[in-house]
Structure 1
Amino acid sequence: MDTEGFGELLQQAEQLAAETEAVSELPHVERNLQEIQQAGERLRSRTLTRTSQDAADVKASILLGSRGLDIFHISQRLESLSAATSFEPLEPVKDTDIQGFLKNERDNALLSAIEESRRRTFLLAEEYHRESMLVQWEQVKQQVLRTLLGAGEDALDFSQDVEPSFVSEVGVPGRSALDSVEVAYGRQNVSDMWLMVKQMTDVLLVPAKDTLKSRTAVDMQMAFVRQALSFLENCYKNYTMVTVFGNLHQAQLGGVPGTYQLVRSFLNIKLPGPLPGMQDGEVEGHPVWAVIYYCLRCGDLNAAMQVVNRAQHQLGDFKAWFQEYMNSPDRRLSPASENKLRLHYRRVLRNSADPYKRAVYCLIGKCDVSDNHGEVADKTEDYLWLKLNQVCFDDDGSNSPQDRLTLPQLQKQLLEDYGESHFSASQQPFLYFQVLFLTAQFEAAVAFLFRVERLRSHSVHVALVLYELRLLLKSSGQSAQLLSQEPGDPPMVRRINFIRLLMLYTRKFESTDPREALQYFYFLRLEKDGSRKPGVIDKFAGDTKAIISKVALEAENKGLFEEAVKLYELAKNPDKVLGLMNRLLSPVIAQVSAPQSNKERLKNTALAIAERYRSQGTAGEKSVHSTFYLLLDLMTFFDEYHAGHIDRAYDVMEHLKLLPLSQDSVEERVAAFRNFSDEVRHNLSEVLLATMNILFTQYKRLKGASTGTPGRPQRSMEDRDMVRRGGGLLSQKQF
């Protein structure tokens, strides 16, 4: 650049400096280079901070704006509050400042709302904290009680992670000690019991009076075995169907639907290739004895017979034996046929290489009971099914003891010889429970399952079902072990302490859920004969009659008449028992009986009371006593009437002499009717209507039987006249 250029630049700089100095408003600052650098850094950092704060404000405005909130106006309103650091009410302004007064009132309202919300929040947090402390303290108390009571046999580990539940309306506030399964049982009655329990208990038409005698009877034990076999066969057939339909391509299901085609398809999956040792040919590509075995395993004897017919030329005498076995009601060959089959088995088949053939022969002939047939019965259910098929109930002396298996022998083998360790009961508790239950060892099964905490509730409810069906063998003493054997019982009979079972089960939740605990204690109610077992009160009070009477009166005052009846019976007060029963029976005697109805329940209660009083010679006041039995007779009359048995109903009414059925008895019946109680007289209209319908039905029937027929029986004419006279008498307004 030339000299003239620098000169011109210098002149411009001097002129700019002169103009700057002429401006007095701007301060004159002199800084060195270091000061200028520091000032620049401060300005830069301030700019970055302001930029990030602005970006945050922008993001907050966008977020709140999407929810319909204006952050700018909210900030202005909050900043306008003078009490920014406290929520105390603002000081009042002068009355002349109207605008300030209104603003102050609005601000005070906002502050009051904020303060109230803060107060409620702290109270709620404090309440939650107190509730949590109560729950923790209740758990600590329960743990301490369990530790103190945990000595000896009753030391059961009830510790568990409980779920929140507020089932009971009374008791200690907080979390329930019931788990989810137990709560489900507590809230409603069980409607669907396990299929196995239902199957095994479906053996009685009427409840047994002597449980031990019934359980040890041959007919009952045979019924248990039949039910167990049916259950195992149905389960295996379902397993076969699931296997086949889950592998349709490999199964190649086809042909006529039925068990035979199902087994054939199942063997396409289970036995895809030829097996060594199969000597008697095949049926559609499968060993004949394997097909027969699996047809029997599915419980279909007809399907097995179908296979036998197809291969009969290769099976020798087996067809005749199997046909006899199939037609036998108890699945048993005759002694002669059984001896021939067993002889053939010992001579020819004991060492056969075909495991299915040996298994079928042992099953049909109930022989070689020491062989477990592990090649084909590789599952516990298969082994149990095979052994139950070999159980014998008759002892004709033709078989040696080692070649005969009885149900008690099988029970001992499973419970004592093999035991829990053999069946890995700790890893598979339900499997061992199934083994015991299907061999009619109900008490041992319940006691075992009760020791498994997660299945304890199931064991208790199975025991309740057995108890209600009178199939449960209970200990005679309250202090007995949970599972015990009493002197005089058969070898494999075990008894369960039913009282201890329920007390141990309800111990952990009786304080938190007393209502649910009472539902279980209800099963410890009166005996069938109306008696009761001594309890704790009897230890401190010699005569509990006064206490029971007071409780009965309290129940009566609350309208709990059915409960009061039972309590008055315990208190030996027959007048109150019969009087309350008359009040309960009167409204329902004319109703139609239906299962589980009020009438059916009250009828059963009344009949039980009548039977006990008749056998014990108990009698109350004459009028109350006669009314009670008259109501029972009227209930019988209406039951016959509603069932369509009009002749029997008429006979009952004629026997009761309640209504005049002839002209001569009108005055007598009217006079007697005035002495009846209100419970009887309230049912007069229903009695009259039912009797008129009976007489009208008889009249039509007699009229149709004697319409102009020559030489009709004289008795028919007399009956018709009697019916007509009775109808006329009942139509008179004598009552």
Structure 2
Amino acid sequence: MRGTTPCCLPSRSLAGGPSCWLKSTTESPLLVQWEQVKQRVLHTLLGAGEDALDFSQDVEPSFVSEVTAPGRSALDSVEVAYGRQIYIFNEKIVNGHIQPNLGDLCASVAESLDDKNVSDIRISVEMQMAFVRQALNFLENSYKNYTMVTVFGNLHQAQLGGVPGTYQLVRSFLNIKLPGPLPGMQDGEIEGHPVWAVIYYCLRCGDLNAAMQVVNRVQHQLGDFKTWFQEYMTSPGQAEGHTVTYFPTLPFSLSPTSENKLRLHYRRVLRNSADPYKRAVYCLIGKCDISDNHGEVADKTEDYLWLKLNQVCFDDDGSSSSQDRLTLPQLQKQLLEDYGESHFSASQQPFLYFQVLFLTAQFEAAVAFLFRAERLRSHAVHSAQLLSQEHGDPPMVRRLNFIRLLMLYTRKFESTDPREALQYFYFLRNEKDTQGENMFMRCVSELVIESRGGDFDMLLGRLERTADRKPGVIDKFAGDTRAIISKVALEAENKGLFEEGVKLYELAKNPDKVLELMNRLLSPVIAQVSAPQSNKERLKNTAVAIAERYRSQGVSGDKSVDSTFYLLLDLTTFFDEYHAGHVDRAYDVMERLKLLPLSQDSVEERVAAFRNFSDEVRHNLSEVLLATMNILFTQHKRLKGAPAGTPGRPQRNAEDRDMQLRNQARALITFAGMIPYNMAGDTNARLVQMELLMN
């Protein structure tokens, strides 16, 4: 198959008949070897008509609500609202305008929904930098609001009076919550309420000054507690102008010496105290007895969370590994793994469980939990500043895997709304996976492979009849569209989607790969009957269109691949004529191809040439031999069936032609026996049988 190869492509005229082509190539055979190594054995024939909808960049709509037919889009109204903001953001970037604040754009959607729960889950930068302190402030303010609502909702029972402030609020609240004396309360009362209960609820409302007011009034009853509490209130973290670092020391803490004294006193005297409020206050101030959940006083999830966050230790004095010290990672593990969703009834109270995770700095787990709920998913994806852990971060930091989250989010609608998916993928243009692959190109590749059909052309563009490429949506986002198209083409090829690969490689101006994949597609079907709507008919039409384009443009591929393509196309013509009963026309095609020996003199030459055939051609050799032998046999029977002296059939000429046919049949038998190739099991037997019938 060296040099020039004659090619007989099917004519598009009604008159029929083969049309002759001449094709020559000059590419290096080294490229063929390199390309062949990359290929995959598996291939799948999938339909993809050429008449896809003509979407192009110049008519691209701005967002999904204006383009998607009713019932087609997988996006709900909230996702459409977020998608609109993503489109606006990307439009500013690709057009070279000042980049808007994406957080503000997405936050405006959340605000427009008028859903307080949604608004509460959106976080600020300040809260990330001091999340424990902010979490405590949040829980304390929420509880203070709760006490106010309770008091003002029961004014008669609360008996609110005196100087306004937290102490009076707590006293009135306890008139409702603890209306009478309780057993086990220690160290007396203050204005009719247990001392330690009043101190506890002042702390629970976040007002240490109010708690200190109580301590000063009953200090003679509290022993060393006043000294410890004064130190707790004036810890270094409370100095005015204190700069909050990545994760600051907790707002209130004792010195190691004082903390050890308090802990010792607690173990010796208070561990088994009957006063649950006294135990809770000591455990809070001394960050001790972390196994006690204080269920008698912290009977709600928010109370438990507040108490445990106050007990968290961040110091690095080497004692953090002690069993009696609680670190944030330990608390996170306890809430997420030891207790888990069932303990907090997460399915019935999703925002509560989200709050538990979020306020303990488990941002990834919180957003991932929210993401699993269909009605909350869009809010999870559009939350700002999602965290995960990186080298050098403090142990409690978690950075969300944003890439994976975004890909999971778009999976729902990328098949119905590929434009909108592309808008989200644009955020990944500077991201790489662990192998260094650009995530934008990877996501675009997967999106195109999954979409196929009309979306295929809309995303990457399509070839016009002039062979010019009409731009697709991708042209807006990428300067080097050819690189992206080549990437997608390789991905399609690796997945065995050869028809898609052919279209993509044509868009990428890579004729070698176009012809290589077409050879793989044509080889299994050329011997089949070309029925309407069949794989063969579709592939034949595609191949003819490619051949015509390449001829008109003067395009050629590597010599070996190029020659194989046109030979397979000629063999397609041969089998079409053969199956249609046009044996003489089929014979003419085979004779001109010089593929098989049609005389004894040419057998050795054809056997030598066989070594240059590609596997795609060799795969069809059995069918080619059998069809050619059957043509010879048919012509032989036709000669035998015509009566002697028939006009146009001189006796001598008929005998000579019959002898020629038998000699050609023997040449085929000889050729079949000499070639170094294992054909189908009964091929030789069938060839011999037909050759014997001609004698």
| Structure-2-length-normalised TM-score | 0.46
> Whose relative contact order is higher, 1 or 2, with alpha carbons under 8 Å and at least 6 apart?
2
Give the helix-richer structure, 1 or 2: 1
Who wins on radius of gyration, i.e. which is larger?
A: 1
| Structure-1-length-normalised TM-score | 0.44
